[in-house]
Amino acid sequence: MSLFISKAHAAAAPAPAGGGMEMLIMLAVFGAVFYFMIYRPQAKRVKEHKSLMSSLSKGDEVLTQGGIVGKIVKVSDEKDFIVVSIAEGTEVTVQKGAVSAVLPKGTMKSL
């Protein structure tokens, strides 16, 4: 029977468990990667968007997240809404947060 069954040998002693220092260093490296690659760029974008929303004024040409291009007719500071003129006689009320970009002057005429 020993032809088909190998003999059991005693296993070598397990390697001693490493200290917690390696784990802490690895955790710190993952934390740094998370901060610099995910959190920091997103926080920068949010800060830029907030400054964009606060700098909106009457006469600016804007692009909304829905793809609408228009000129700001009225800015309501207390309600966070703006009125955007899309065409002659056509106005749309949009939330300030929906503005994705302020376009250079004269962009609407070139479209």
Identify each DSSP E strand in 9-106 by its residue range.
61-64, 69-76, 81-87, 90-95, 99-103
Q: Is the pLDDT of residue 62 over 80?
A: yes
Q: Which two tokens stand for residue 110?
A: 């070139």
Mean confidence (pLDDT) of the chain: 87
* Nearest partner of 64 among 77, 81, 76, 45, judged by Cα: 81
pTM score over 0.85 = no
pLDDT per position as a tens digit, 95-108: 999 999 999 998 88
Mean pLDDT of 16-22: 72
Mean pLDDT of 55-83: 92
* Nearest partner of 103 among 66, 52, 54, judged by Cα: 52
Q: Phi and psi dihedrals of 101, rounded to 5?
A: -160, 150
Q: Is the pLDDT of residue 1 over 60?
A: no
Q: Is the pLDDT of residue 58 over 90?
A: yes
Alpha-carbon separation of residue 99 from 57, 60, 72, 93, 107 (angstroms)? 12, 11, 11, 11, 16
Q: pLDDT at position 111, please?
A: 79
CA-based torsion, 19, 21, 24, 25: positive or negative: negative
Q: Binning pLDDT at 50, 70 and 90, where does residue 78 land?
A: confident
